[in-house]
Structure 1
Amino acid sequence: MKRTARIAAMGVIAALALTACGDREEDANDDSSPSSAESSPTEETSATQAAEQFPDFKACMVSDSGGFDDKSFNQTSHLGLENAAANYGIQTAEAESTDPSQFEDNIQSLVDEGCNQITTVGFLLGDATEAAAKKAKDVDFAIVDFAYEKPTPNLKGLTFNTAEPSFLAGYLAAAESESGIVGTFGGLNIPTVTIFMTGFYNGVQHYNEETGEQVEVLGWDPAKEEGSFTEDFENQNLGEDLAKQMIGQGADVIFPVAGPAGLGGLKAAQDADAWGIWVDTDGCQSAAEYCDSLLTSVVKGMDVAVEQAILDSASGNFTNEVYSGTLENGGVSLAPLSDEVDEETAAKIEELKAGIIDGSITVE
């Protein structure tokens, strides 16, 4: 696949809105930090409340094992903590996990430190977060990528329907594939990973149904719930190896859902002159070295959701109602498309997005 050089997308807030033309704009002030749409998870907080400062309030965060510099969901969630500090004058503290065995102790250390609110990042912290919330009832907890059937009053789930933008990404991958084969792989076979992969798979099938083509998806079978996984979110070599295997089988678009390990998939795609699609953040900001090989990115507005949860807690508006980010409320989105995507395809993606929002297209 031969491609001309593309202009990197470096917008901070506006860059996360899906554009019809697919052009990327330069931003000389880009610092390669991920960001998300301006929309807030809740509408209750007034402009007056947003202007308040909370110097005596302390918000804290515990990372998943990928750490806060993973160019993915930990880093984006951490940006929400940083923004809350900058915008509302709160105090902050954090505990970075390098192994799941540290989750419980890291959360407890922040409780002991006097944190008023603690956000934990990632599905794997679900049990440890719930246990801590039941013990420390005077602390408000929020958790990214997890929800509970019956949460305690001080525990809020922050979830994201990434199947929706992943569906768009799958359709785009199928439309741009020259070989008729695309691939996806995950870090672990857990719901917050496979929701991306299923959405992607279904987007490809929608393309096939509309066009009569037979684009094949390697790496995930949603009916059997089986696929390709690195079993690791940190080791980029594992991601690179999986992507190379798929490219060897003919895949010319790779969709890794494996945190930092997925960066290896982007490297393999770039080295093979194939396309990649990034997740969680706009890859042209968080992994700019691969921007010229990215069709787009599936974005989760975790920073916005985290910041809002902190503000709600600081201002006395905290509830345990689960937040769900969707295309409609801007909690999930598709980053700007490569400028090599033609206008007809870009317009089709916009049409599909509108259909998902108005309910005429159902995404599993």
Structure 2
Amino acid sequence: MDNTLQHWREAATLILAAGVQHGNIIPKMDSQMSLNHERRKSTFDYEVLLMKRSQKSGFMPNAFVFPGGAVDASDFSNDWIKVFERHANKPNFGLGVVRQPSSTRSPMFVTDRRKFGSLIPGNVAFRICAIRETFEESGILLVVPDSAEADTNQNIINAYEQDGDEMAKWRKEVHNNPLKFIEMCKELRCVPNIWALYEWGNWLTPVLTMNPRARRFDTAFYIACLPMKPVTIDDQNEMVSFNWWTPQEAIEEYMTHTTWIPPPQLYELSRLGNFTSIHKLHSFSCNRALEGCERWMPVMVHAEDGVVHTLPGDELYPEDPDVTGQSQKMYSTNRTIETLVREGGRLHRFLHINGIATVFINLHPKYKHINPLSTDPTHNVVAKSKI
């Protein structure tokens, strides 16, 4: 809905965390390795949903990602006004107004949708998209009765439970036609629980190729916390399997080359590593809900012996990066990877060392956010980071 969308599509994704019950008894294990694994697992009282994309997918095939997908025109349909009738006259339908100045806000959040004929604010439509896509891909439906007040929906929430056959029917219909999501909400007398989704981040797919038809997405990342894991069923279409992992387990799966997790998801999982309690995670998310976030587009900087994936604030990050890729500009430095690490400076980057992406960061996070748990950037790096 703006002139940059010829280069990418808008999208929304949901970091869905759910509480788990470990109890006070460590079960018998066949090996000490299994025992240690159980102890590491039990430090977290929640797990995060990651879904594996189909091998046939045209975007990040075989990757484990958070549920979500591209925004559909139906997410901005004015028919949502009737569904959100109790909330439509409140700022952002009761979500409140983000404190971040509009001049630093991501374009996807500040674009006035009314000039395109939609009365649905972007902050609302992107949450609708994340909830709809989560329902399509996992069967988890985050809605509340249409009589509910916005303030009561900001707690740790339960997923909607209804007759399995009926939900399976709606899920198939919504997948085939996203407009059916509006019809479903009207018939079930419910509304998407947009108030339980907290703004977490915003990632723009980097320019990886000069092909103007390459798929790119400007994606809003939200987070929601559930008291327990809901019934989860992959769609065997876009998503072929799923796992509920603690943030630590997911990162370990990636570190052992067992699972491919793309950089944005890896970064956000590393952020979640700061919270072992779902209640602390929810409290943190809730308290910074209206602070805002930056849009991050990784920029590849070619060093003498590899590639550095830089993020805003890094000393190698361009002052005015080419977000569209039209200039076909390539960024480079004549230093080696090892030299770049040892020299220090302002770091906000991914380095691929022996095939593993590691976050290096020493900057203070903006908008009351939190840095990912990262590797000590002063440790010795063997220059084997070619991609």
Band of TM-score, shorter chain = under 0.3
- Please give the TM-score of this superposition, normalised by the length of structure 2: 0.23
Find the structure with the greater CA-based Rg: 2
Relative contact order higher in (CA < 8 Å, ≥ 6 apart): 1
Structure in which a larger fraction of residues adopt helix: 1
- Please give the TM-score of this superposition, normalised by the length of structure 1: 0.24
